[in-house]
Structure 1
Amino acid sequence: MTTADYATYIAGLPRVLAGAAALFRDTQGRVLLVEPNYREGWALPGGTVESDTGESPRQGARRETLEEIGLDRPLGRLLAVDWVPGTGRPPLVAYLYDGGVLTDEDLKAIRLQEEELLSWRLVGRDELAARLTGSLGRRVLAALDVLTEGTGTAELENGHRVG
């Protein structure tokens, strides 16, 4: 295969987006959610992985956490990876890492990125489905189950466990 053939082959491959987020909890087990100003609903601290810079999903989740809420913390293990089909966009592979338990001092140190976020709040498991719609809500619940069960990583398709 020539260099030109290889470049044509690569250009013809399907595109996939990569996103990464951190799951932070407080000492009562509530999940930290952020409210974006650019769309309806709530989210986790995180965002798109900047693959053009060579950033890994773990690095992206940590960078986004620092940018969005001002916390620079090493992330724990990968809790869930989710293949989310695209509707009007390429498919998304979403990585969700354990951000750990935040102390009262950590919570006081949160500084929102005002260009993107309106607010943050701590939400109990029973409220998550109402705040996080679709695959994101199912992904967070699966990640919480992984933490409770002490198992490995949840493999998900559109927020539903597979395998």
Structure 2
Amino acid sequence: MTTTDDYAAYIASLPKVLAGAAALYRDTEGRVLLVEPNYREGWALPGGTVESDRGESPRSAARRESAEEIGLDLPLGRLLAVDWVLGTGRPPLVAYVYDGGVLDAEQLASVRLQEEELLSWRLVGPAELIDHLPGALGLRTAEAYRVLRSGEGTAELENGRRPQ
């Protein structure tokens, strides 16, 4: 076996980790835009899987997914949160949340859902995020919103919570 073969075998033996990225969009009143997927229960932020096999970065994935899911292709702001989420029945997930910015009335009126994946969208107040978003996603989104409002740096999370 050559060194190249050894390296390829080593890479193939490494644990798998999934990566996802989303954008936190708000309206002028501070409410967060959520989408309702048709493939699972609950709500979500616009976003999805990072297609790293195509060389996509988390930031690019969040922007691409937002354009596909809600029809808004806007530059994203700073990274608000990174979350390491253990899974059952799937590899661990590293989830990135970016500041999508404040959407004005015209932008909100132009939201167009990706009908293959989404049923609806709504604006939710920050105090309601954990009620609408399941598990670590709700905790992660609430923490990302808190960091955004406080001006603090990026939140490092594990399963939606700051590590002890």
Q: Residue by residue, what CA displacement relative to the aligned partner does 1:71-128 show, whole Å, maximum 9, x if unpaired? A: 0000000000000012100100000000000000010000000000000000001211
TM-score norm. by structure 1 comes to 0.98
Q: How far apart, CA to CA, are the structure 1 residues paired with 2:4 and 2:87?
A: 31
Q: What code does the residue aligned with 2:23 have?
A: A
Instruction: Measure how far apart 1:162 and its partner are.
Output: 2.4
* CA RMSD between the two structures: 1.0
Structure 2 residue 39 is matched with structure 1 residue 38: yes
1:55-66 to structure 2, matched below 5 A, reads 55-66=56-67
**Which runs of 5 or more structure 1 residues have no equivalent in the other structure?**
none
Q: How far apart, CA to CA, are the structure 1 residues paired with 2:114 and 2:145?
A: 26
Q: What code does the residue aligned with 1:40 have?
A: E
TM-score norm. by structure 2 comes to 0.97
* More displaced stretch, 15-24 vs 2-11: 2-11
Q: Residue by residue, what CA displacement relative to the aligned partner does 1:20-71 show, whole Å, maximum 9, x if unpaired? A: 0000000000000000001110000000000111000000000000000000
Q: Which residue of 1 aligns with 2:96?
A: 95
Q: Which residue of 2 aligns with 1:156?
A: 157
1:8-157 to structure 2, matched below 5 A, reads 8-157=9-158
Q: How far apart, CA to CA, are the structure 2 residues paired with 1:148 and 1:77?
A: 12
- Identity level (%): 75
Q: How far apart, CA to CA, are the structure 2 residues paired with 1:5 and 1:115?
A: 42
The SS at the match of 2:146 is: helix
Q: How far apart, CA to CA, are the structure 2 residues paired with 1:116 and 1:47?
A: 11
Q: What code does the residue aligned with 1:87 have?
A: T
Deviation >3 Å, runs of 4+: none
Q: How far apart, CA to CA, are the structure 1 residues paired with 2:68 and 2:94?
A: 21
**Which runs of 5 or more structure 2 residues have no equivalent in the other structure?**
none
